[in-house]
Every structure is written in C-alpha cells, then in structure tokens.
Amino acid sequence: MIGKVYIVGAGPGDPELLTVKAVKVIKKADVILYDRLINPEILSYAKDSCQLVYVGKSDGKHTMEQSKINTLLYFYAKKYPNVVRLKGGDPFVFGRGGEEALYLSEKEVPFEIVPGITSSISAPAYSGIPVTHRGIAASFAVITGHEAPNKKKNVDWESLKGIDTLVFLMGVTNRQEIAKKLIEIGRNPEEPVAFIEKGTTEEHRVIESTLKEVAKNPPEVSPPAVFIIGEVVKLRNKIRWFDENKIPINYLVWRR
C-alpha cells in the first residue's frame, strides 16, 4: 500500500485564513508533519487518532535535516493512506514544498499541493499596507532575507532597484545589511519601511521606520516578521484596520 501526501499551506497564522480544502485534508489526515509556526488551533482540526509529528525549525536551524523530513514523508506514506505535510504560509513560497514534491515524485508517491495564504501579502494587508496600489506601486517582489547581501547568494540585488514594493521574508537577522544594500543600489534612503511581527495573529505588531534608519540603527524586531519596503507603507496611516485600536509603534518617534 502507498498512501497520498498532501503538502498543505496553513496560512500566516490566523486560523480563519486556513482554506476550506486545507481543513478537509487535515480532518482526514492519519499523520501530520508540521512546522514550528503552525497555530495550535489548526492542529485541533485533526481527528483524535491522527499522529502529530513535529519537524519544525528555530532561528534558521532545523530540528532535522530536509532529507530526513523527505524520508519521513515516504515512511508514513507506506503506512497510512492520508499523510499531511503542514507548512506555514504557502508551501511554494520559501517553504521548500517544491523540494518535497520532487522527492515524492521520484519515489512515485502520489501527492497533492494545497496552496496557503502567504504572509508576504496577508501580513501587510492586515497592517493596512497593500503591496500594489494604483498610482503608487505597479509591481512587487518577494525575496528571501535569509541570505546576507555580503555573502555568496542567488538574489539579484540590482534588479530590485526598479520594483515598487519589496517584501523580505526571513529578513530580521539581516535587516541592517539588507537596508544598506538597497541604498547602495539606488533605493531612496527616505523610503518608508515596516516590520510586521507575527502578522494576522493576536500578537500582530507593526514597527515603522525608513530605509536610512534601518541601515544606521535598526529597530528591535522579533521574528517571525515580514519586512516591507515601499511608498505603499504610507497608506497604512489611512487604511489600517486590524490593529486600529492598538498604539502604533513609530520607530522614528520612539528612538527620540
């Protein structure tokens, strides 16, 4: 017997942003391999007999190697008819879902991709920041912030100069280096930026600054956080809604 593996996106954190299909798949799962940022409320959809297997990471370090996770998917697919690989956000947006799908394909294990809402768009949306806006931003890019600009990398930094809105995921640790590099390639030092901590959750927090300030004296930011750069950040002043009753954190005022 060989079961089916569902590579499922759990969304950005708010359980209500889980897709209907994801809920259906989780409810019928015999085993769920889940990551660190999965909201426990989402796991509560699983049936009592479902086996929960933690395969998350912390501070960029896996509790186990990706190759081990791949092997576990194959192992459980040979034991159970319904295996769920549950990932935060969308599995194909820096989630290594493509790698797992390729492995399953090579092993001839049936699989299905269940897309999830990515934090790169939803966290800004909950903060009142649209990644595109007529007359302000006609383009946006989502970039890994895990690769430091001064190291060997795959990011084409020069190409980012002309993109209106930039969204960095996993960029908290390298935030100062990222800001310096963007200014170096020609981005406006006064360009507004925002860090969105634990977006869409009850602990959602927004820290506003400028590219210049992040490059000189970066604010304290706790991961997981989305790092967004662009003129669209200014729209937050008028269309913020989710945290409208919270005290805004403006780093430029705070550090005085």
Residues acting as catalytic residues: 35, 57, 170
d(CA 201, CA 191): 27
Cα–Cα nearest to 182, from 218, 207, 206: 218
Which phi and psi (to 5°) does residue 166 adopt?
-115, 135
The answer to whether the beta carbons of residues 181 and 132 sit under 8 Å apart is: no
Whole-angstrom distance, CA of residue 154 vs CA of residue 143? 10
C-alpha span between 74 and 83 (Å, rounded): 9
**C-alpha to C-alpha distance for 215 and 250, rounded to whole angstroms:** 16
Cα–Cα distance measured from residue 5 to residue 2, given in angstroms and rounded to the nearest whole number: 10
CA angle 51, 53, 57 (to 5 degrees): 165
Helices (DSSP H) in the chain: which residue ranges?
20-28, 40-43, 66-77, 97-106, 119-126, 175-184, 211-216, 236-239, 251-254
**Adjacent-strand bridge partners of 77:** none
Token duo for residue 219: 């604010």
Provide the 10 A C-beta neighbour count for residue 51. 14
